[in-house]
Structure formats: C-alpha cells, structure tokens
Amino acid sequence: MATTAAATGTGAGTGEGKPFWARIDPRWYSSTLLTTILVVGQWRHQILGDSYLPWIVALGAAVLAELISRRAMGLSGANFLSAYISGNSVAILLKPQGDLLWPFAVCSLLSIFSKHVLQWRGRHLWNPTNLGVCAMLMLAPTQISMLSHQWGNDLAFVALLWLVGGATTLRARVAHISLAWLAAFAAFAGLRAVVLPQGSFVGELMPVTGPMYTLFLFFMVTDPKTTVRTKGGQMAVAVLVAAFECLVRFGCELDLLSATNPLCVAPPMYALFLVGPAALWWSMRNDPRGGAATARA
C-alpha cells in the first residue's frame, strides 16, 4: 500500500510534488509586479519624475520601520519582502508637490508601524499601505496627491501588469476577490454612465487601468491578512467596497464633494479604508476561529 504524504509528513507542507510556480511565496509575485510598474513605468511614463530619490526614501523608510518594529517587539529577523512591497507601493502612489521627499518617508513609516501597532486579536485590520496613503492625504491634502497618470494607449504595458497581477492573485488564491470587485466596479461604471449628465461607460471604466487601481485591484482589496475568512464573505466585502467607491464618485462628479477632498483624490482607497476594517472586525467578533483569512502559502 502506498504511504501518503500526510501520513509520513514527507512532502506535506513542503511543496514537494507541486510545480515550481506553486512553491513560490505569493509575495514574490507581488514584488515582481511592483518592480515591473516601477521600472517600465519610469522608463515609458516617468512616474517617479526625474529622480529615483522618492523610491529610495520610501523603500529605505519602510525597511527601517520594519527593523525598528521587530526589534521593539522582540521578534527575530525582519520581513524585508513586506517592507519592499510597502515601500514600492508608496513610491508609486504618492505625488507630493514639487520635490518634497518627506511624504514618502512618513507614509512608509506609518504603513509599516500601523501593521505592528494597530492590531485587534493579534491581527491588523487595515492594509498597511492603504492606511498610510489615506492618512497622508488627510493630514496634508494641500501638499500631497495621488499618481493620476494613465498608461494611455500603452496596451502592451497594461497587459503585462494585468498578467503578472492575475498570476499573483491566482497563486495567493484570492483571484475571486479581484474578479468580484472588478465585476461590481464595471456594473457601477455602467450605472454612473446612465445617471450622470456627461457620463460614458468607457470614461467611467478607464480609471481601472491606471496605477492606483491596478495596485488596489491586485494588492490591497485582496490582502489575505486583512480579508474575512470565507470566500463568500470576501466577495461580498469586495462588492461593498465597490459600492462605496461608486457613492464617493457620484458625490465628486456631481460636485457634492470638492475635487480636492481626499475622498475624491482616491475613491477606492478610502472605500477600502472604511469598509474593509469594519467588515473584518465584525467577522472576527462573530467567528470563534478569528474570522480573518490567513496568508496563503
């Protein structure tokens, strides 16, 4: 009789027998997508401007915050991959006025420190970078905005980003969250196109190909550490986030909210900032197992 891996412990949890791509930590896919956006985006669209200093400052602050946090908490080692993902995300998303560099450092510090400090029952409720960016937009709205650059007709670049992003979510087993949010976003884009006087479906849908929405779709709304446990719950929360984002965009496009209002600057970010943690808290409060999803191996 053949001996199973589960019985012997051989191959169980070690990845033996799996194709090589299934044995790779999903975060390596995430870091690959971020690196692709940074390198190709800077080469083709100058998303960092004329200098790599913002990236160096954001990444350096994220690594420093990770080292300080783990040392203060008595934890061994350092999660440099997590810091790399947060630092790169901050460098891509933030667009301060002029040549200001301090927002990149402060945002990275807030993102990483929040992961270790703002916890409930041993888990952080907010996606770290989402919290850091939203906090910066609220604290310094006249000095900081978001990268609004679109990739235009560079369809090959968009296809490459979505290919790597899709591989990332498939490997982490959270593709259903991205698809649920994307379907809801498209449906609400159609609703806005019908309701708004000058609305068009293509115009309402196109932001999804930009850098902010790309990172949001493949990283933030799918973050296993800050999503609820069940697949149905995860999809429901994704739809709720898209619905809240639609309400914010209605307010902005109907001039009910100022164009400089942080909500109008980054609608999906604030939708997740408000809906995601509330849903996770409720799930953890009512689920004896903890209510939160675990990181996919």
**pLDDT tens by residue, 231-255:** 999 999 999 999 999 999 999 989 8
Sequential DSSP letters for 242-282: HHHHHHHHHHHHTTSS-TTSHHHH-HHHHHHHHHHHHHHHH
pLDDT of 73: 81
- Residue 297: the pLDDT is 31
Contact between 59 and 23 (Cβ < 8 Å): no
Q: Which two tokens stand for residue 215?
A: 């990172």
DSSP reduced 3-state for 5: helix
One-letter amino acid at 31 equals S
Q: Six-digit token pair at 1?
A: 């009789």
The predicted structure's pLDDT at residue 6: 35
- Dist. CA 102–CA 112, nearest whole Å: 16
Average pLDDT, the chain: 83
CATH (one of 2.30.38, 1.10.3430, 1.10.3470, 1.10.1740) for 24-286:
1.10.3430
Measured distance CA(223)–CA(67) in Å, rounded: 22
Question: Which residue, among 107, 127, 28, 112, has the nearest Cα to 63 in the 3D structure?
Answer: 112
Q: What is the pLDDT of residue 12?
A: 41
Alpha-carbon span 64 to 268, nearest angstrom = 28
CA distance 226 to 211: 21
- Give the pLDDT of residue 288: 62
Q: Residue 268 corresponds to which tokens in the numbers above?
A: 């999906």
Q: At what angle do helices 26-45 and 80-93 cross, to 10 degrees?
A: 30
Residue 115 C-beta-side C-alpha neighbours within 13 Å: 24
CB atoms within 10 A of CB 270: 23
CB atoms within 10 A of CB 68: 15
State both tokens at 185. Answer: 């976003």
Element (H, E) at 123: strand 123-124
* Low-confidence spans in the chain with pLDDT less than 70: 1-29, 77-79, 148-154, 288-297
C-alpha 58/C-alpha 104 separation (Å) is 5
Length in residues, the chain: 297
- By the 10 Å C-beta count (0-12 exposed, 13-18 middle, 19+ buried), 89 is classed as buried
For residue 123, list its beta bridge partners: 120
Q: 98 in helix, strand or coil? A: coil
Write down the domain spans for the chain.
24-286
pLDDT of residue 130: 94
In contact, 181 and 239? CB cutoff 8 Å: yes
| C-alpha 226 chain-centroid distance | 11
Q: Which two tokens stand for residue 187?
A: 């449906």
Q: Are strands 144-146 and 94-96 parallel, antiparallel or unpaired?
A: antiparallel
